[in-house]
Amino acid sequence: MEFKEAQREDFVQIENLISIVWEPTYRHIVPQKQINEMFDEFCNQTYFGQQVSDGARFYLAVEGDILLGFVCLYKQNDGIKISKLYVDNEFHKKGIGRFLLDNVQKICKDNKLKYIELNVNRYNKALYFYRRYGFYIQQSEDIPYKEFWLNDYILRLDIEEEINS
């Protein structure tokens, strides 16, 4: 498995992966109308390009030319904010999410950053994955989105400095 920075031509594959993962991930959590509206607004190549223009970086987990998963990162203060992390449903429970997070931690350490932060819906099963990885709930946050509310936890993972002895 390889971890590599995405290029704009990879946005087609990223959009395709999200189109497979999005609805099954959120169908038991939020109304279908919200799923559709958020997908249309936030899961397309134009939006990804806008994120990159705003400083985001997309990284891929690939095996050959198969996209297994990806993560989208922003540097914020002295840490990294993950805005998206998705793994193809076909590859869940095969270590892809852990592989992506391990590489995000490496980016933090290489750049002397102190934490990784992300939002996750309070009812998303991924919460348990992040907690097992070591993230803790920093706070709850209810974010207005059109006529809906995003009921999130802000999760944080403190990056420990390596001690050289």
53-73 tens-digit pLDDT? 999 999 999 999 999 999 999
Residue 135 domain-assigned?
no
Which strands make up the sheet holding 115-121, listed edge to edge?
2-5, 57-63, 66-76, 79-87, 115-121, 148-158, 136-145
∠ Cα 81 44 153 (to 5°):
35
Split into its structural domains, the chain has a count of 1
Which H or E run contains 76?
strand 66-76
Burial class (CB in 10 A: 0-12, 13-18, 19+), 41: exposed
pTM of the complete model: 0.93
Quote the DSSP letter at residue 22. H
pLDDT higher than 50, residue 165 = no
Query: Which residues, in sequence order, are CB contacts of 18 under 8 Å at separation 6+?
Result: 39, 43, 84, 86
Residue range 38-53: mean pLDDT, rounded: 94
Residue 133 domain-assigned?
no
Give the model's pLDDT for residue 160. 79
Residue 143 domain-assigned?
no
Range of the domain at 18: 2-116
Residue 145 domain-assigned?
no
Residue 23 domain-assigned?
yes
Residue 142 domain-assigned?
no
CA distance 45 to 11: 6
Q: What is the pLDDT of residues 102-154, one digit of tens each?
A: 999 999 999 999 999 999 999 999 999 999 999 999 999 999 999 999 999 99
The whole-chain average pLDDT of the chain stands at 94
Residue 148 domain-assigned?
no
CATH of the domain at 14: 3.40.630.30
Residue 147 domain-assigned?
no
Give the model's pLDDT for residue 91. 93
* Residue found by looking up tokens 């390889």 in the block: 2
